[in-house]
Amino acid sequence: MNARTPAIESRLPAVGTTIFTVMSALAQEHGAVNLGQGFPDFDCDPALITAVDDAMRRGLNQYPLMTGVPALREAVAAKIQTLYGRAYNPGTEVTITAGATQAILTSILAIVHPGDEVIVLDPCYDSYEPNIVLAGGRAVHVPLTPRTFRPDFARIAAAITPRTRAIIINTPHNPSATIWSADEMQRLSDLLCDTDIFVIADEVYEHMVFDGQQHQSIARFPELAARGFIVSSFGKTYHVTGWKVGYVAAPASLMAEFRKVHQFNVFTVNTPVQHGIAAYMANPAPYLELSAFYQRKRDLFREGLAKTRFKILPSEGSYFQCVDYAGISDETEEAFCRRLTQDIGVAAIPLSAFYPDRFEQRIVRFCFAKKDETLKTALDRLASV
């Protein structure tokens, strides 16, 4: 008698293998330089490893508080107040999470009910819509302006309905590497002030802002902070994406609901890593100097790209660089990326992968969070395109 596995009615029927997985596999198959996926190929500061190792050896290996190690929550609150001028109570308004993706999902599950709508601004990080669907909500897609990737407030306003529960914003922006200005933040604040709409602010690249500009956290804007969840990532800041540790800051009433979900989908996060990061944060230099660190890499990469046939788009923040290849090929973005990987030996990501309708602009995204020699190898190959 054969055992039978019941069929599953998928909660995410439209989700398949992501383009990131596809391109990384293709890069490995063809020995390509992988500038597709967004993580460093260099090590973190050895002092951070030492701090985590010390925590392990001191026996800090059991469950911490559900909300996170107090010292780390205090360090996060102090950093936000120093940089952005808003005081968050570390006891009631900061929670340590298993990375930013979990933080975004938990924020959505805390506030979105079946039938609610959540505005997302395309192109956007690929977890947003599945998270909304898992909460029973509906993603309402509003495009950023093509090619310049600025928020279109007329279209955002037109998308608001009585069912609108939240809007997700991302600055510095993945994939376009743009940043929101203070004026744009104020316009969003003005738009939402008479509504009950929440803001989920994906600020994981907060410490990578270039050319003397400031990161405009929603913490700087009282109306947005009062209705907002700020999400950030230690993995992005300290070059340890595999550790999957991040945080959320939000007003106490919002954080209370966040923690109700957090305690049952994660409960708590790696104890010695939390203690190690808390100790490491006593010195603010690593995150204060991160913009200069990545700006140098950005400039090196852009200098090399200037010698190719690609048209270089602005890179204001994050560790991404988008380029226009319309002068090189009329292929679709995915086809061009596949050929770039297979024939040239450099993997990139098609920008169309960040749009639900696969909107084409002949733009691809590179990641420059790589060793200088990795970038130089990639640039030598791209010069032959």
pLDDT of 212 > 80? The answer is yes
Contact 155, 119 (CB under 8 A): no
Asked if the model's pLDDT at residue 380 lies above 80, the reply is yes
- In this structure, what are the phi and psi dihedrals at residue 360, rounded to the nearest 5 degrees? -100, 135
The predicted-structure confidence for 267-285, as pLDDT tens digits, reads as follows 999 999 999 999 999 999 9
Quick check: 17 pLDDT over 90? no
Q: How far, in whole angstroms, is CA 119 from its chain's centroid?
A: 17
> Residue 37 — pLDDT band, cuts 50, 70, 90?
confident
Q: Whole-angstrom distance between the N-terminal and C-terminal Cα of the chain?
A: 59
H or E segment to which residue 202 belongs: strand 198-202
Is this model's pTM higher than 0.95 or not?
yes
Segment 50-94, tens digit of pLDDT: 999 999 999 999 999 999 999 999 999 999 999 999 999 999 999
Q: Looking at residues 7-17, what average pLDDT do you find?
A: 91
Identify the pLDDT of residue 19.
85
* Digit-coded pLDDT (tens) for 115-138: 999 999 999 999 999 999 999 999
By the 10 Å C-beta count (0-12 exposed, 13-18 middle, 19+ buried), 92 is classed as middle
pLDDT of residue 16: 84
Helix intervals (H) in the chain: 19-30, 46-57, 70-84, 99-111, 128-134, 153-159, 182-192, 222-226, 234-238, 252-265, 271-280, 285-288, 290-305, 333-339, 372-382
1 pLDDT higher than 80: no
CA 180 centroid distance within chain: 14
- Residue 322, pLDDT > 90, answer yes
The three-class DSSP label of residue 17 is coil
For the chain, list the domains and their CATH numbers.
Answer: 19-38+288-382 (3.90.1150.10), 46-282 (3.40.640.10)
Tell me which amino acid residue 158 is. A
pLDDT at residue number 156: 98
The mean pLDDT of 158-166, rounded to a whole number, is 98
108 conformational bin, left if phi > 0, alpha if psi -120 to 50, beta if neither: alpha
Assign 218 to helix, strand or coil: helix
